Structure 1
C-alpha cells in the first residue's frame, strides 16, 4: 500500500454505483501503451464523503484479520459486481472524463484481481453527473 501525491485524469468507461448509501465511481487506467486497463480507479462521488470511507466499508465487511490487499480486493469486487451485474448502478458511461484527486491509497495485487493489477482509491469526480445522481442514497445496511 502506498499513498499517492499526484492526481490523475482519464477518459473511458465509468461505472457509477451506490454502496451502503455512498455513490462510488469505478474507472480504469493504463500504465503503458498496451492500454489493458491494469489499474482500477475507485472513489466516492457523494459530496462530503472522502476516500477513507471506502476502506472503512471494506474493514467493516471483511473478516477482522483481513490484510490491506484483501480489503483492496473487496473494494474492487464491489466495483466489478456493479459493472457486470448492474447491482445498485446509478450510471454507466462508455466514454466519460474522470479525475482522481491527489491523496488516497494505491495497492498492487500479488496476483491479478478482476483483470486488474492495481487499485488506486481517492476522491473522484466524473463529468456529467447531476447532483441527484451523486447524492447519498437510502440504504437498509450500514457499512
Structure 2
C-alpha cells in the first residue's frame, strides 16, 4: 500500500453508487497498453465527504483485525456489486471523464481480486453529475 501523491485523470466506464448514504464513483485505470483495467479507482462524490470515510466504512464492516489488503477487497467488492448487480446504483456511464485528486491510498493485491490487481482510492470527481446524483442519501445504517 502506498499513498497517492499524484492525481489521475481518466475517461471510461463509471458506476455511481450509494453506500451508507454517501455517493461513490467506481472506474478503472490501465497501467499498460493491454488496457485490461487492472486498477480499480474508487472515491466519494458526495460534497464534504473525504476518501478516508471509505476506509472507515470498511473498518467498521470488516473484521476487527483486518489489514489494509482485506479492507481493500471489501471496498472493491462493494463497487463491483453496484456495477454488476445494480445494488444501490445511481448512474452508469460507458464513457465519462473522471479525476482522482492527489492524496488517497493505493493498495496492491497479492493476487488478482474481482479482476483487479490494484485499488486506488481518493477524492473523486466525475464529469457531468448533477447535484442530485452526488447528494447525501437517507440510510438505515451509519458507519
- TM tier relative to shorter chain: over 0.9
* CA distance in structure 2 between the partners assigned to 1:4 and 1:93 by the alignment: 25
TM-fit CA distance, 1:4? 1.1
Which residue is 2:18 aligned to? 18
- The aligned counterpart of 1:96 is 96
Find out whether 1:78 has 2:78 as its counterpart. Answer: yes
Unpaired segments of 5 or more residues in structure 1?
none
SS of 1:111's equivalent in the other structure is: strand
Local SS of the residue matching 1:63:
coil
1:107 aligns to what SS in structure 2? strand
The whole-number CA distance in structure 2 between the counterparts of 1:36 and 1:132 is 32
Q: TM-score, normalised by structure 1?
A: 0.99
**Alignment gaps of 5+ in structure 2:** none
Structure 1 residue ranges (4+ consecutive) displaced by more than 6 angstroms after TM superposition: none
> TM (normalized to structure 2)?
0.99
The number of residues matched between the two structures is: 143
Matched position secondary structure for 1:55: helix
Partner residue of 2:123? 123
